[in-house]
Chains A and B, each alone.
Chain A
Amino acid sequence: MDSPCDSVIGDRDLLTEILLRLPVKQVIQCKCVCKKWSSLISNTKFPYSHTCRLYHKYNNNPPPTALLVQNFADTKAQRASIVPLHANDNNDNKMFFHLDLDGCNYRSSIMHSCNGLLLWNVIPTSQPGPTSEDSRACHFRIHNPAMSDDHCVYLDYPVGDVDSPYGDDIFEPFELKAYLVFEPLKQPLSYKVILFGQMDPSVIYYRRRVEFKVLNPRIEIRLYSSETCGWSEVICNLPDGLRVTEGVYCNAAIHWFRLDHDNSLYFDTNRLCFDKLLAVPSVDDSCVKYFGECRGRLHLILSDTLEFDIWELEEDYSSWVARYRVNLNRMHDGESALWWNVSSNPFSVLSFVHRQEEEEENSMLVLFKDGKIMSYSLEDYGLRVLCKVYRDEVPRSIHQYFETLLCVGNS
């Protein structure tokens, strides 16, 4: 007669229920416990049920568990640093995977992180030899870093416009920004990749070092859909003077703040067109500290002193609402209060993570100063060092990330 433990573990439904309630990290650990558990988790329905449950718990917007930080200046290190947002004493939340992409033949950078999947831009640094397996030209990769690399999707760059008067047959923009649109709750799983390519440089230098600023650089937008498995060109109402800069992805739209003096706009990936974004009243460029997204809402942080104002855009884009006022003078590191005797703000804001009242963790600001990435809690004013980067420049490429079990590649 089976012991009660064996009866419970032996019952597929009960075991599934137990595993469905675990966080992603524990589920991946359970994959390694025994073959039976591994096959149950790899069953195609399990990752989807698990993701639905997780999203339901957080009202369709799970909070990030880590930040992915990558410095473009650092050409040697291929790795991106993973900065867990909730470092506990017992290191329970240490990340269990690395972000290494095939060593020295490629220079890879994370373009976008969306709902647990990462979009990488991979550029070969030298001519790959005939023996190397992966002798591809520039391409994109989409993968779930928490699961093994078997489920990686490789996407070649789109071809240039052969018929264009400019004679591009290779897609080689001067500036490229790429975004991954992945909505995990829709079945069957599908994704889109949107590229914004600036085909003219921003500035042209003439013979006698005269600079000519290109007023209306040529912009091309390409869309890849997993349903059609192909690239297509997007023709839409391009605003004048649009430049390809870092945008913020939120709710299937890409937002750019104050592209030129008073135009904030966004690109809707469903309707494939541009629209104007509401401006924040009386904003001076110098005091915009941060424009980003968290859990489906856009946030804007303004300050010119140690006091921050955090604004949030309403869900229907109708108005900006002032959410928090943060005073960085009220800060302690767990033992004693910290004081800053500088009048100007020494901190850079990397991210703002918003938590609801029912959740255990507090809302926090992720700040950067003197080579250290720190989290500042808005509830108890505690400052905690998350990670040391040992560089003085503010990290440029920051992505919020949380783990998921879903993969889009074929196994």
Chain B
Amino acid sequence: MSSQLFRVGLWVAKVPQRALSTSPVCATSVVLDQKLRDEIYPKIGNREVVGFGINGYASYVDRCEFPCPAIRFKESTPEILKLREKEKGDWKTLSLDDKKALYRASFCQTYSEINAPTGEWKFILAVILFAFAGSGWLALYMRKFVYPPPVRTLNREWQEHTLQRMLDQNQGAIMGVSSKWDYEKQEWKQ
């Protein structure tokens, strides 16, 4: 379907012969053949197709980079059609409510609504903190119930005795431990 719409788009873009015609401006300028119409209109209902949009699909998306979607947002109801007739006149005669209604008929969200903060960060932070808490609990469980008891050599007293033994055996006399021990003064070399 996208290739067909793209062809439509190309066909419309290749119409500079209109520059030579004397007919008035064509207001509904997206001309679809019957096959496309049968494909698209059941999906979009009564909405007017107005352009190429993002990719040629007759879809509506609010994106800051693409101000003009392919279809109007709301279906063409009689009230909206009345407003469109009014729109053909001087825009200064439109009231503020009319203008807002026209905007909302063509578009779903304004730019500030699109970019408004959603507070999603709170949920994400909560999930991350839950994950940390869960890992903490898992680590405690592993230590208590899964790991074997620690090796008996892993305490201070054993390590001190080991060090004493290394000094007694003069291990590392050139560059290692014993080279840093002063055997006359029985203390570490300063």
Q: Is chain B found bound to chain A in the same assembly?
A: no
